[in-house]
Amino acid sequence: MLKVSVLQKERIKYQPKLPKSLKGFPKLINGDKTKSVADQKDIEKLFPNTYGMPIISFEENLDMSGKTPINVGVILSGGQAPGGHNVISGIFDGVKNINPDSKLYGFIGGPGGLVDHKYIELTADIIDDYRNTGGFDIIGSGRTKLEEDWQYDKGLEIAKKLGLHSLVIIGGDDSNTNACILAEYYAAKNSGLNVIGCPKTIDGDLKNEMIEASFGFDTATKVYSGLIGNIQRDANSAKKYWHFIKLMGRSASHIALECALKTRPNITLISEEVEAKQQTLKEIVEYMAKIVAKRSESGSNFGVALIPEGLIEFIPEMKNLISELNDLLAHNESYFNSLNNDDEKFQYINSNISDKSSHIFNTLPENIQMQLLADRDPHGNVQVSKIETEQLLVNLVEEKLHEMKARGEYKGSFSTQTHFLGYEGRCAAPSNFDADYCYSLGITASVLISEGKTGYMASVRNLTAPSEEWIAGGVPITMMMNMEKRHKEMKPVIQKALVELDGAPYNYFKTKRKEWAYDTNYVFPGPIQYFGPSEICDATTEMLKLEKA
């Protein structure tokens, strides 16, 4: 038995709410055949066995008779997100409701556990300690990329040993791309092993008309917004600091936008807007400095700025530089790391990238240069979380304000604090919304498994309605895929969902941005509420409310 706090004891007792269609054993209704979001011919050629399948919806049906036992393996893949334990408990309860003799196995440490045959049988004694809790510690997670036949075959070997009917991969866009590739590989071999995905990422970039939200996003943004509110209250109390806060979100600015809608900071940078407007680093700095100077005119030498983690990759000249560095180091990392000192490394970089990128690289502070050259992630990309974009912007805004002061355009003071809100939100106890949503995703996955489906992602939508009215079903993963360049080769991947600049959340933010910049309109959300009125405890994100208004 795990040691638990009083809150955790009470949370374990919480029974997640379910859609009507998941109470009992649903009937499956097939919709129209589907096609990928882009590159249809290429995707169909790569996935002949799992392409074009119909969207599945569930209808309420209380008959659960005659269901045979099913054995399932589950994998947590990638970074942690609040609610993962509830997906697993939903799968467990689902397969046990189908037949009490069903078994659930967890692969330890992510996809690597499948390849290395490290697993544990998840029993009621284990599951019951983790209901409605944060983290992925029940079986751990990992970022092993499954991309070679021998890895798939090792997975099939352990699946046969355990008598598995299906694997459930709980992860983000890259992890569910892996799920799609595994599903196709096993289908082509007539292996009898099916694969189902579940949409996880606090970044919110696994999203489309059928996946209205990735789980964990609601909880993480509530945690971050509570902390931002605390910082804003301090800023408005002390009235002496500008707080530059970097937030998780490498490829998309959903977290920054959601937190802005919740807290109303003075500055919020949206990476997608920067890219669309082709804004330079200089233009971004001038925009921020103008707001700092304008607020100082009324004596407000304080404020809060939100900065998406991946901003630097959306600034055109920085994007080109990073792309060239990624391509160069993807094929020469061993040689680069063998160089004796930083001078040799910088000389090598400058000799092997374009003159324009070399110029940009050499204008950056040395600490930023080193961060751009740090070890790549498993997908060959720069680890943007290690780039101190917030400090870079502080330094450049400060330089700009000195120039403005010399011209008599600015008379205020500029003292700063920097923050990076990242790990604080990844393993929080899930909000009621995420607890309910994740449990429903787990039950949905168990239904798809029992019906022999493969290559599907569990889908629960209509999420702004009461949970009884949520719509559960399955969406073919190939429907979300397109071709993208990875390591200089075109690869099939799930298309990332970025902030839509013609969407309701961004357009509402845009109408309020100037008001929030110059006036002090802070909102203090406070911590997540787990017990109390439904309108407080069960509320979903501001973005979903605006999208579905």
Residues acting as catalytic residues: 203
**Range list of β-strands (E), 236-338:** 242-247, 267-268, 303-308
Task: Give the C-alpha separation, 185 to 47, whole Å.
Answer: 9
Name beta bridge partners: 29.
57
Task: Give the C-alpha separation, 326 to 376, whole Å.
Answer: 8
Name beta bridge partners: 254.
none
- Yes or no: say if 385 and 247 are a contact pair by the CB < 8 Å rule: no
Percentages (nearest 5) of helix, strand, coil residues in the chain: 45, 15, 40
Name every residue whose Cβ is closer than 8 Å to that of residue 20 and which is 6 or more positions away in sequence. 60, 468, 469
Q: Element (H or E) spanning 463, and its range?
A: none
Antiparallel, parallel or unpaired: β 267-268 and 242-247 = unpaired
DSSP states of 222-239: HHHHHHHHHHHHHHHHH-
Task: Give the C-alpha separation, 85 to 274, whole Å.
Answer: 36
CA 99 to chain centre: 33
Q: How many CA atoms lie within 13 A of 538 on its CB side?
A: 16
Question: From edge to edge, which strands make up the β-sheet containing 166-171?
Answer: 27-33, 54-59, 471-476, 456-461, 194-199, 166-171, 71-76, 103-107, 119-121
Q: Where are the alpha helices (DSSP H) in 111-216?
A: 111-116, 124-127, 149-162, 173-188
Name every residue whose Cβ is closer than 8 Å to that of residue 37 and which is 6 or more positions away in sequence. 208, 479, 480, 481, 482, 495
